[in-house]
Amino acid sequence: MKKLIRYFIGDENIRKIKLNRRMMVNYMSDYKLYKRYSTLYNKSSLENKEADLILNYHSIEKGLLHEKIKPRFARHRVEMLIKLLSDNSIRGSISRSQIRVAFCVMCEYYELHLKLSVDIEDFFPKVEYDQFRTLLKDDYKETFEGALSFNKDEFYKHIESNFYNFSNSRKSIRHFTGEKIDVDRIQNAIALASNAPSVCNRQASKVYLIQNKDDIDKVLEVQGGLNGYTDKIRQLLILTNDRRYYYTIGERNQFYIDGGVFLMNMLYSLHYYKIANCPANWGKMINEEASVYKLLDISESEKIICVIAIGESESKFRVTLSKRRPVEEIFIIK
């Protein structure tokens, strides 16, 4: 019977049917795990709650970057944070870095409005602020800042330094002068970024430079994460990774990994060439990204990994604190 089926269907078709089934099983497993654990459906684990917390407090950090703070900015985020920070499991885990910093950012937000004599009692009552301070105990610092100020010379002083200093000095910059960077300089940065390792040296990453302001605005509108900073963005890099270089089912997510490795190296390379930059997330659904593929004539075989706004930094600017987890929170010796 088996021989008969093989005879009629053909070995190659049988191989393809088997592959299809394995592909489906594997993609279905990805789907189930994402559904089970991401915050899309779940908000129950501490990690889910922490993710929500980071998303909201980071948004407030971004609001703190503007030279002139917009009074009562990010009200919706503040309301969300008050709710999240009242959760018992969150309060019980205040020793975790991201939870602590969320409380600190909220205290800073409150104090900033106090200084400006702007009333926010309707969405951020004093009683909450007092509680946050009490919960923070010795970790409360009046001097805490969710945004760090730099001048350009100081910011780039470590670019020729050792890796420890260099890596610590890289930060995302969202304030550009609007002046364009020479294409040669960008090219040098991309050449340096191509030192990035990739699976079997397949080098499937590609970088597009977009300079037409209309196109930039269209991409940024779809991107959505740089609202408030888009005016002075005159150059945009789009990093893609090409599916055509991958060949096993086990490699089905490899293009995200290789793209991510390239992205990090590119951020360092841009920093080395003093090109201010801010990566912007491309976690898009297919219907959202379709217009960008069409606009820029990017092959559907390529996955957009990230868009990176680049430019000259202003002489003085602020960056988000973006407090990192201490090593004890992420390094587990088994």
Ligand X SMILES: Cc1cc2nc3c(=O)[nH]c(=O)nc-3n(C[C@H](O)[C@H](O)[C@H](O)COP(=O)(O)O)c2cc1C
Residue 120 or 280: the one with the smaller Cβ distance to ligand X is 280
Q: Does 181 bind ligand X (CB under 6 A)?
A: no
- Consecutive H or E run containing 132: helix 126-136
Q: Which of 279, 289, 314, 318 binds ligand X (CB under 6 A)?
A: 279
Q: Which is nearer to ligand X, 167 or 187 (CB)?
A: 167
Kindly tell me which of 102 and 226 has the beta carbon lying closer to ligand X.
226
d(CA 265, CA 271): 10
Nearer to ligand X, 91 or 325 (CB): 325
**Cα 118 to the center of its chain, rounded Å:** 31
Segments of 105-191 assigned E as strands: 147-151
Secondary element (H or E) of residue 259: helix 254-272
Q: Which is nearer to ligand X, 172 or 188 (CB)?
A: 172
Site string for ligand X, 42-81 (x = CB under 6 A): ----------------x---x-------------------
Q: Which of 48, 93, 98, 172 binds ligand X (CB under 6 A)?
A: 172
Rounded distance between C-alpha atoms, residue 249 and residue 229, angstroms: 40
Closest contact distance (angstroms) between CB of 172 and ligand X is 3
Part in contact with ligand X (CB under 6 A); list of ranges 39-47, 107-115, 125-133, 315-323: 315-323
Q: How many CB atoms lie within 10 A of CB 115?
A: 9
- Chain center to CA of 309: 13
3-class secondary structure, 276: strand
Answer yes or no: are the C-beta atoms of 149 and 297 closer than 8 Å: no
Q: Give the count of residues interacting with ligand X (CB under 6 A).
A: 15
280 binds ligand X (CB under 6 A): yes
- Minimum distance of ligand X from residue 279's CB (angstroms): 4
Q: Hey, what amino acid is at 174?
A: R
The smaller minimum CB distance to ligand X, of residues 128 and 260, is found at 260
Q: How far is the CB of 322 from ligand X (least distance, A)?
A: 3
Q: Which of 196, 204, 236, 278 binds ligand X (CB under 6 A)?
A: 278
Provide the token pair at 74: 């990010």
Q: Under the criterion CB under 6 A, does residue 320 sit at the interface with ligand X?
A: yes
Beta strands in the chain (DSSP E): 147-151, 205-210, 235-242, 276-281, 302-311, 316-320
Instruction: Note whether 310 binds ligand X by CB under 6 A.
Output: no
d(CA 322, CA 62): 10
Beta bridge partners of 149: 318
Q: Which residue is nearest to ligand X (CB)?
A: 225
For residue 177, report the phi and psi dihedrals to the nearest 5 degrees: -80, -25
Q: Which is nearer to ligand X, 44 or 168 (CB)?
A: 168
Question: What x-and-dash track marks residues 210-249 binding ligand X by CB under 6 A?
Answer: ---------------xx-----------------------
- Return the residue of 84, 273, 319, 323 that touches ligand X, per CB under 6 A: 319
Could you tell me which stretch among 49-57, 142-150, 274-282, 285-293 binds ligand X (CB under 6 A)?
Answer: 274-282
Phi first, then psi: give them for residue 163, nearest 5 degrees: -60, -35
Q: Which of 151, 165, 281, 301 binds ligand X (CB under 6 A)?
A: 281
Q: How far is CA 221 from CA 152, 201, 213, 228, 229, in A?
A: 28, 34, 12, 11, 12
Note whether 166 binds ligand X by CB under 6 A. no
Specify burial of residue 81 (Cβ count, 10 A radius: 0-12, 13-18, 19+): buried
* Interacting residue ranges for ligand X, rule: CB under 6 A: 58, 62, 171-172, 174, 225-226, 278-281, 306, 319-320, 322
